[in-house]
């Protein structure tokens, strides 16, 4: 008697069990990311805030503000840096569909040079909050307290890996900024922005030395390179 069919069924069953175990583990992980959201459950609108692009030599800094429904449990949300580009893009679409409201704020390289990166980041965050279609009752921020906002704030160190809404904001900011850098790559292909997104890689530094700065470079970040 040929038992190959039975073996195939057994393997398929084991694969199914493993998939279910992974799914359950992911659901538990996501539930653990809702500790702050549960703590402030008495608030109607809880907003997560995060930014992308504080460190690069070129391009804007982008802030994301996201308000999710109370019962929202989007699987695979995490600190955007821990996700593949493909997964970030997938989650960007899911968050866009499911969020109560999303705000994006952008501070240009010129603005960064004018007021410094920290103040430009705060400015982008305020813009993101102001673009929301609802007024949050509380802000869960990734590590910072934003000046000039009359909403209660909770700064959370490494918040994008500890809070579902901050993680969602992290993804929205990162994907938005990456898309902008792809567009800039078409305008200034010699710098390789599509590959490194403006960060100070060896390739990027060599391109700056060879071609000089372009209009999206942060001149205040290039002093040591260009001197």
Domain positions in the chain are 33-226
Question: How high is the pLDDT of residue 14?
Answer: 84
Report which of 185, 186, 190, 188 is spatially closest to residue 206, judged by C-alpha positions: 190
pTM of the full structure: 0.92
Domain 33-226: assigned CATH number: 3.30.420.10
How much is the pLDDT for 99? 98
Q: Helices 164-187 and 85-98 meet at what angle, rounded to 10?
A: 120
* Residues 185, 192 contacting (CB under 8 angstroms): yes
Rounded to the nearest angstrom, the gap between the alpha carbon of residue 212 and the centroid of all alpha carbons in its chain is 30
Residue ranges in the chain whose pLDDT is less than 70:
1-8
What pLDDT is attached to residue 8? 64
Torsion of CA 214, 219, 221, 224, to 10 degrees: 100
Report the pLDDT value the prediction gives residue 1, as an integer from 0 to 100: 46
The 10s digit of each residue's pLDDT in 173-187 is 999 999 999 999 999
pLDDT tens digit string along 105-142?
999 999 999 999 999 999 999 999 999 999 999 999 99
């Amino acid at each position: 008697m040929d038992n190959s069919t039975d073996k195939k069924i057994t393997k398929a069953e084991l694969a199914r069990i493993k998939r279910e175990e992974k799914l359950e583990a992911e659901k538990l992980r996501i539930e653990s990311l809702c500790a702050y959201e549960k703590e402030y459950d008495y608030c109607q609108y809880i907003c997560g805030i995060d930014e992308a692009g504080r460190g690069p030599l070129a391009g804007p800094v982008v802030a994301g503000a996201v308000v999710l429904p109370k019962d929202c449990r989007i699987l695979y949300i995490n600190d955007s840096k821990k996700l593949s580009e493909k997964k970030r893009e997938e989650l960007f679409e899911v968050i866009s569909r499911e969020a109560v409201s999303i705000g994006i704020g952008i501070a240009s390289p010129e603005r960064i040079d004018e007021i410094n990166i920290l103040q430009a980041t705060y400015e982008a965050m305020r813009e993101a909050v102001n673009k929301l279609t609802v007024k949050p009752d509380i802000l869960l921020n990734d590590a910072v307290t934003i000046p000039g906002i009359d909403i209660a704030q909770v700064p959370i160190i490494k918040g994008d890996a500890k809070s579902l809404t901050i993680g969602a904001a992290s993804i929205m900011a990162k994907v938005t900024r990456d898309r902008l850098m792809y567009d800039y790559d078409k305008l200034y292909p010699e710098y390789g922005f599509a590959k490194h997104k403006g960060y100070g890689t060896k390739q990027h530094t060599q391109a700056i030395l060879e071609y000089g700065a372009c209009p999206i470079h942060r001149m205040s970040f290039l002093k040591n390179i260009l001197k």
